[in-house]
Amino acid sequence: LRRKVPAARSSLFLITDAEGKPATEYKGKKLKGEEKPWVGTEVLLPASWKERDLFLEVDGLAGEEPVLVLGERRLKLSPDLPYKFPVAWSDQPLRLRIKADAIQQDVWLRSYPRAASVRFASVMPSWQDKELRVLAQGTRAPGQPRLVRVQVAATADFARVDKESAWFPLEPGEGDFRTRFAMPWPDAKPWTPDTPNLYFFRVELKHAENRLADRTLPVRFGFREIRIAAGRFWLNDVPLDLHGNNHTPFSSSKHASVLGVLENLEYLLRKWKDEQHCNAFIAWAGDMVDRSLLYDVADEVGLLGVQILRGPQADFADNEHVQRYNRRVTEGEVRRYAHHPSLLAWEASGGGPYTWMC
Question: Over the stretch 4-13, which tens digit does the pLDDT of each residue have?
Answer: 333 333 333 4
- Is the pLDDT at 78 greater than 90? The verdict is no
- Is the pLDDT at 257 greater than 70? The verdict is no
Mean pLDDT over residues 118-136, rounded?
97
The residue with greater pLDDT, 28 or 127, is: 127
The residue with greater pLDDT, 210 or 265, is: 210
For the CA atoms of 38, 41, 42, 47, the dihedral, rounded to the nearest 10 degrees, stands at -140
Average pLDDT, the chain: 82
* pLDDT given for residue 62 in this prediction: 76
* pLDDT given for residue 122 in this prediction: 97
Calpha distance 263→259 (Å, rounded): 7
Query: Which 8-state DSSP code applies to residue 37?
Result: P
Name which of 14-18, 30-34, 118-122, 188-192 the model is least confident about.
14-18
Mode of pairing for the β-strands spanning 280-283 and 244-245: parallel
pLDDT digits (tens, 9 = 90+) for 268-285: 788 888 888 889 988 765
Calpha distance 9→184 (Å, rounded): 47
- Is the pLDDT at 88 greater than 80? The verdict is yes
* pLDDT given for residue 153 in this prediction: 98
- Segment holding 202, helix H or strand E: strand 199-206
Q: Strand locations in 60-190, DSSP E?
A: 61-62, 67-70, 73-76, 83-87, 94-99, 102-103, 107-113, 116-126, 131-140, 147-153, 161-164, 168-169, 175-184
pLDDT band of residue 332 (cuts 50, 70, 90) is confident
Name which of 112-121, 233-242, 346-355 the model is least confident about.
346-355
* pLDDT given for residue 36 in this prediction: 64
* pLDDT given for residue 156 in this prediction: 95
Inter-residue contact 287 to 6 (CB < 8 Å) = yes
Residues near 274 by Cβ (< 8 Å), separated by ≥ 6?
Answer: none
* pLDDT given for residue 154 in this prediction: 97
pLDDT digits (tens, 9 = 90+) for 281-331: 887 655 455 778 889 989 999 999 988 776 555 556 677 877 788 788 888
- Is the pLDDT at 259 greater than 50? The verdict is no
- Is the pLDDT at 163 greater than 90? The verdict is yes
The residue with greater pLDDT, 183 or 308, is: 183
Calpha distance 56→98 (Å, rounded): 13
Mode of pairing for the β-strands spanning 304-308 and 343-349: parallel
* pLDDT given for residue 204 in this prediction: 97
